[in-house]
Structure 1
Amino acid sequence: MQLEGKRTIVTGGASGIAAATVLAYAREGASVVSVDINDEAGQRIADEANRLGSGKVTYRHLDISDQDAVNHVFDEAVTLLGGLDVLANIAGNEAQKPAEDVTAEDIDKIFNVHVKGMFFTNAAAYRAMQAHGGSIINASSGAGVTGYPGSPVYSAAKAAMLGYIRTVAFDWGDKLIRINAILPAAETDMTKEHFGAMDPETLARYKALYKSKIPLGGWLGTVEQIAAVNVFLASDASSFITGQAIAVDGGWTMVR
């Protein structure tokens, strides 16, 4: 088991890539505190993970855009786990709107989760890891590197995450805390909702775009494929990797 003895926190653990990561971490022997705002689904994933018979998973409610709540829940989680070795910060949301129509509310909705949430959770993880090191993984996106049609706020937030990660890798490296980003492209409930809301003409245009941009299969991957990379980044096998944006998207984002 690659993560036996690892003490981990996963944000967004009720669904999608984060839920798959909770299951993968448990399967690999980690102790996990999974957090989300969807308590019913979050607890269901935790129960499923515990039936795997390897690592132990506990679920807690948390809105990562609330700094006081982050500090409280992370302190509780670190006490429960007996320390912290890994944070996989995967919680996110998405919205599309033309740049010329974006409001302050639109910006806050996305930036509060992706940017503020990253600042708050990563700082809380730093406090728990600074004495012994650890691994922090943040879910960014190829949208923050190459852009994504119709999603200016989301793309801007994901780009901000990359700037943060590259800077903090320098600032926290002397504490042996490594921090990396994944740039995932997987079929999730969020993406299904995203595409399901499109009219046939728009959907056909997006399918053609994906086919032209993704060398491996011309479509999105699976959440399990992303979770496998999160296992690697949580493990000691990645102990000399930091400040990187690792694209797990079939080749769409070829980071230079």
Structure 2
Amino acid sequence: MSGPLQGRRVLVTGGASGIGAAAVAALTGAGATVVATYHRAPPPAGSDVTWLPCDVRDAAAVDAMVDAAAGTMGGLDVLVNAAGLWQPGIPGAITAEDIDFLVDTNLKATIFTNQAAYRVMRTEGGRIINFGSGEAVMGSPIAAVYAATKGAVTAWTRSIARAWAAEKVSAIALAPAVQTPGADRLRDFVGPEGVKVLDEQIATSIPLGGALGDPADDLGPVLVFLAGEGSRFMTGQLIAVDGGMVMLGA
């Protein structure tokens, strides 16, 4: 398949659902060769994508998975680290288990996958795309640990952007506000009355359309751009794809 990413070799973690699934569709549609991971959600049938099972919280499993992906594609140009999870957590009622789970799932997994990808990319260069969150910028009274882990992901992304730049490995973090399974869990958590308030807040806080974006239509093209040559002079940034909700740097 021809396209702007023809010849690009891309690994997508968490590719079976949500943002990861949108990334897989957008990148393959742009011509990239894609290997994707899955854990709990099964991968779709009949796909041209190579699927690898992996619990990205397991460092050894991540190392083996990245080696297998690079071996399948003959190298690795881009990592889209979409595996992660939103979970509620109200300050004052947060347990040690809540903290451990989200640190393992969102932060440790990011570090494991990034470092494994770097070991492959360091000889020829590459691009790492992680996912932060607008909640980490604004704060979240109902998902405080999630926000904290995503803030840490952004700090980590800036650190590796500096550390690995000499080897032409760049890193970007995205803060999307799009409709995902995590957004559905938030609606379930706040309940019917809370949903009314939530929808009012979204309508007034997102200037472009007053609603969460579509992962395929609104985030997919951004991922294609960031995975391509046009973004080669960008690194260390947190980029909001959120209809203007956060307006970073304002």
> How has the CA–CA distance of structure 1 residues 211 and 39 changed in structure 2, closer, same or farther, with 3 Å as cutoff?
closer
- Counterpart amino acid of residue 181 in structure 1: A
The answer to whether residue 176 in structure 2 is matched with residue 209 in structure 1 is: no
- Counterpart amino acid of residue 242 in structure 1: T
Equivalent residue, structure 1, for 2:34: 32
Relative to the length of structure 2, the TM-score reads 0.95
Match of 2:23 among 6, 13, 21: 21
CA RMSD of superposed structures (Å): 1.2
Relative to the length of structure 1, the TM-score reads 0.93
Deviation at 1:139, TM superposition (A): 1.1
**Kept in 1: contact 2:6–2:30 (CA 8 A):** yes
**Kept in 2: contact 1:39–1:61 (CA 8 A):** no
- Counterpart amino acid of residue 35 in structure 1: T
Match of 1:176 among 168, 172, 175: 168
The answer to whether residue 29 in structure 2 is matched with residue 4 in structure 1 is: no
Match of 1:246 among 229, 239, 249: 239
- d(CA) in 1 for partners of 2:129, 2:50: 19
- d(CA) in 2 for partners of 1:202, 1:248: 24
Equivalent residue, structure 1, for 2:89: 97
**Kept in 1: contact 2:17–2:41 (CA 8 A):** no
After TM superposition, list the pairs within 5 Å mapping 1:145-184 onto structure 2.
Answer: 145-184=137-176
Match of 1:123 among 93, 96, 115: 115
Deviation at 1:108, TM superposition (A): 1.2
- d(CA) in 1 for partners of 2:226, 2:40: 26
After superposition, the C-alpha distances for 1:36-70 in whole angstroms (9 at most, x for unaligned) are 20352x243xx34x2xxxxxx10011111100000
Q: Percent sequence identity over matched residues? A: 40
Equivalent residue, structure 2, for 1:199: 191
- Counterpart amino acid of residue 128 in structure 2: I
Unaligned ranges ≥5, structure 2: none
Aligned length: 246
Deviation at 1:197, TM superposition (A): 4.2
Deviation at 1:97, TM superposition (A): 2.3
